[in-house]
Amino acid sequence: MTTTMRHAYFSQQQKESILRNPRSSTINNTPHTNIYLTVDGREVEVTEVIKTKPNHHEKNFSDSQYMGMVTKWLRVKY
**31-55: pLDDT as tens digits:** 788 999 999 999 999 999 998 877 7
33 and 15 in contact (C-beta within 8 Å)? yes
Q: How far is Cα 33 from Cα 66, in angstroms, rounded to an integer?
A: 15
Position 24 scores a pLDDT of 56
CB proximity list for 15: less than 8 A, separation 6 or greater: 33, 47
Position 35 scores a pLDDT of 96
Whole-model pTM: value is 0.82
In this predicted structure, the answer to whether residue 21 has a pLDDT above a threshold of 80 is no
